[in-house]
Structure 1
Amino acid sequence: MQFTQSQLRILEMIKNKNRISRKKIADELELTPAAITKSIEPLLQSGIVLEVAQRESTGGRRAIDLSLNKYWVGKIFGISLTPTSIITSVGNIEGEIFKSNSYKIEGSNELASYLEDIIETELKDEKEIKVISMAITGLINSENGVILFSPHYKRKKIEIKKMIEERFKIPVLIENDVRAMALTEKYFGKARESENYVVLNVSEGIGSSIFMNGDLLSGYGFISGEIGHVVMDRSSLRKCSCGKRGCLEAEASNAAIINRLVSMIKLNNYSSLKERLKKNGSINILDVIEAVKKRDFLSTKVSTEAMVTIAHSIDMIISLINPEKIVLIGEIFKENLLLSTLKLELQKVTLEEQKYDLIVSDMLNEMHTYNPISVVRHNLFRKNIWRDSL
């Protein structure tokens, strides 16, 4: 179906608000009731939009809202590629997740063929998939569907969209994982009412994404938000996955905290994690956070120093963009002492006049299953596959 410009504006508003009345649409778009009716009627007849009764009523007949028809889009097969795993999901644009699975990425796996094998296995039991949506760590050209560079996978210029579409004959959308997180926060998280915000993700690596003036900012070359590769310490010897030294990611990511802590323990600095390291051969970020809760000196020292570095990177974001909100995503932000350290350091380095909300996402455990869904929702009326094929 081809949409008029008025219909596209109306559909974007319904999508962003989840449900909204005709009157509110008319008021916000400055259109007459007659114009709204003319634009909406074909959308109702085609089943793209549904009429739903408002939940609250002051008495008498309930007012009617408009909402997208979740069955119109059909099922979405989602894929999230993290530095260490491939997470698959099946869901719809309303955020209903029907199933999900996780596959570990081993050093011996050839990524492209491994991914194709996983998709083939998952699609055997799914006959109603209308689109494959992928959220991938690294530099992603979302328009052409190309992995420009993914330092964690040591891969460059993979035409992933073309490869998957040719193999499975299903339309494919791809997006950078942290930009997808910004969309998840917009549609399902703590940024639903925000038009200007930044997401900062701290995990094995560090990345950010910018949602500005009501839209996702990709930047020239589709590489905006790569704050993890901003050099924070030019004297540092710590090498980043991108090849540079002293990057934010090399200084303050989960991997950086763990690497520094393990090195210090091996140099005979005391930590309550020493026995766990000796027994298991490794520690993870949850081990570190638990040690911080118990006020292990070394774990607390290394982690708080990382938080100070992160605070200085957020100061850069605030000064350059002046966002309404900064949404923090990561296990490390759930520890009260570390979050307090971050806030205190930010107060020291930011101006009193710089107003912003610093909030911790509550989507962390579900983020990778929701990211592909959010990418589809964002692109519903922007990509031709939805106008021509459905």
Structure 2
Amino acid sequence: MKTASAKIKTLEFIKNSNGISRIELAKELDITPAGIGKIVNGFLKKGIIKEYGEGISTGGRKPLILRINEENIGMILGISLAPRFIQVSIGDINGKVLKTVKYSLEKKLLMKENNILKTVETIIKKELNRNKEISIISIIMNGMVESETGISIFSPHYNWKNIKLKELIEKKFNKRVFIENDVRGMALTEKIFGSCKDKHNFVVLSIGDGVGGSIFLNNSLYKGYGSISGELGHMVVKRNSSEKCSCGKRGCLETEVSNVAVIKKIISQIKLNNYSSLKNILNEKGTLNMEDIIKAVKEKDMLTLNIMNEAIYLTAHAIDGIISVINPEKIVLFGAIFKSSFLLKTLVNEIKKVTLDEQNYEIKVSEFSDNIYELSPFAVANYNIFKEI
């Protein structure tokens, strides 16, 4: 095993274990005790890991247990910039969330980039004043992000273009800052804390107010040329669509299957006097949400079922394209639409119709769907800190 690969594997075992000894590492990785000792000593000198007491002896001296040195890394301030809210969390490198608060965003805040920037700066300043142990600020956000330089290339929800977010925050607060796209953050959460720890090739598909994707390829987060890979929402899936996307194209997956898109279609059909059990709810509230849609699916409302079945059909064919090109081990789904067991089963069956038996993939709804905005900034920090070692 090459030295660099041995270091990465050693660190992964230490990270994923609840404490492991040198001798256990040597057995797991099939490396000599001397080789493991050299790698471990290097990590100890850098303060990356720490010896935490003694393990059980199998004869001779009790082995020292190795764990990640959380104290040396410090606390992390996680900020998730979602289309309609900002989630602020404080936690550690292992994803233990100590505090989390959600701030709703008013529409007027989204009209100008400086409004959001000022809001973010105010939040950071307040949290840093309250907690002096924060050493890292990890920000995830919607849209196209160049994570290495920390530039928000394009955020349709915030009207941002080429905002040097990392540079701005680092200069203002003198802290280490990581910036990442929200769906890549979801993929990293699955890789570091979730069901894809042992997967080398997987894809995340998120359907919310928008549609996004992220690709983990050959055990690395794939970003592509220009760092804008994974824009699955802008795959054209309906050539004859009249719906124009924010990217300028028509018939994008986002304009056909996102929460915003399906709600818009259902409301439009109700206003054209097509029958739906959602009509009374629309009249009472003036709008609909995905909880209303999922309930209508469960109650077998025909108008809702027709629109959602088309959304599922288009999603299935987009996933078929992903499977054909990438051949992932697993596809992880995020989104309210997948909380409907009927729609999920329909999706799986539709995908089976268009894929080959030899394409051995697994489809799974993420266990983090309800708290992904809390967790993903810590996964992003974890990935970047250990990537540099």
Corresponding residue to 1:270 among 263, 269, 275: 275
The answer for the alignment partner of 2:98 in structure 1 is: 98
Q: Distance in 2 between matches of 1:177 and 1:361?
A: 15
Cα 1:58–1:329, aligned 2, differ >3 Å: closer, same or farther?
A: farther
Q: Provide the TM-score with structure 1 as the length reference.
A: 0.91
Q: Distance in 2 between matches of 1:325 and 1:53?
A: 38
- 1:321 is aligned to 326
121, 124, 138: which one aligns with 2:129: 124
Tell me which residue corresponds to 2:314. Answer: 309
Per-residue deviation at 1:43? 3.0
SS of the equivalent of 2:132 reads coil
TM-score by length of 2: 0.91
Distance 1:76 1:265, change over 3 A: same
Deviation of the 1:19 alpha carbon: 4.8
- Secondary structure, counterpart of 1:143 in structure 2: coil
Instruction: Name stretches of at least 5 consecutive residues in structure 2 with no aligned partner.
Output: 110-114
**1:141 counterpart residue number:** 146
- Please state how far the C-alpha of 1:319 moved relative to its aligned partner: 0.1
> Which residue of 1 is the match for residue 68 of structure 2?
68
Distance in 2 separating the partners of 1:9 and 1:337: 40
- In the alignment, the residues of structure 1 paired with residue 310 and residue 63 of structure 2 have an alpha-carbon distance, to the nearest angstrom, of 54
* Alignment match of 1:198 (pick from 203, 207, 212): 203
For the residues of structure 2 that align with 1:62 and 1:216, how far apart are their CA atoms? 39
8 Å Cα contact 1:142-1:176 kept in structure 2: yes
Cα distance change on mapping 1:300 and 1:34 into 2, 3 Å: same
Secondary structure (helix, strand or coil) at the match of 1:90 reads strand
C-alpha distance in structure 2 between counterparts of 1:59 and 1:328, whole Å: 48
Quick one: distance in 2 between partners of 1:36 and 1:325?
32
Deviations 1:114-146 (A, max 9, x none): 221222223221111101001111100000010
Structure 2 distance, partners of 1:63, 1:93, is 25
Q: Which residue of 2 aligns with 1:186?
A: 191
| Corresponding position: 1:114 with 2:119 | yes
Match of 1:334 among 321, 330, 339: 339
Corresponding position: 1:251 with 2:256: yes
In structure 1, the partner of 2:236 is 231
**Pairwise CA distance, 1:88:** 0.7
- Alignment partners' CA distance in 1, 2:56 and 2:107: 55
1:311 is paired with a residue whose SS is helix
* Equivalent-residue separation in structure 1 for 2:45 and 2:325 (angstroms): 46
5+ long unaligned stretches in structure 1: none
Q: Which residue of 2 aligns with 1:279?
A: 284
Give the CA deviation at 1:21. Answer: 4.5
Q: What's 2:378 paired with? A: 373
1:47-74 CA deviation, whole Å, 9 max, x = no partner?
4323468999999998665321222211
> Within 2, Cα distance between the matches of 1:54 and 1:123?
36
Report what 1:161 is aligned to. 166
2:214 is matched with which residue? 209
Between 330-339 and 120-129, report the one with greater CA deviation.
Answer: 120-129
Q: Secondary structure at the match of 2:386?
A: coil
* Cα distance change of structure 1 residues 27 and 275 upon mapping to structure 2, 3 Å threshold: same
CA distance in 2, matches of 1:282, 1:74: 44
Distance 1:356 1:60 in 2: 47
**Distance 1:185-1:54 versus aligned 2 partners, 3 A rule:** farther
Q: CA deviation at 1:154?
A: 1.9
Alignment of 1:15-34 (within 5 A): 15=15, 19-23=19-23, 25-26=25-26, 31-34=31-34
Shift of 1:358: 0.6
Deviations 1:246-287 (A, max 9, x none): 000000111111010110011111111111111111111111
CA RMSD of aligned residues (A): 2.4
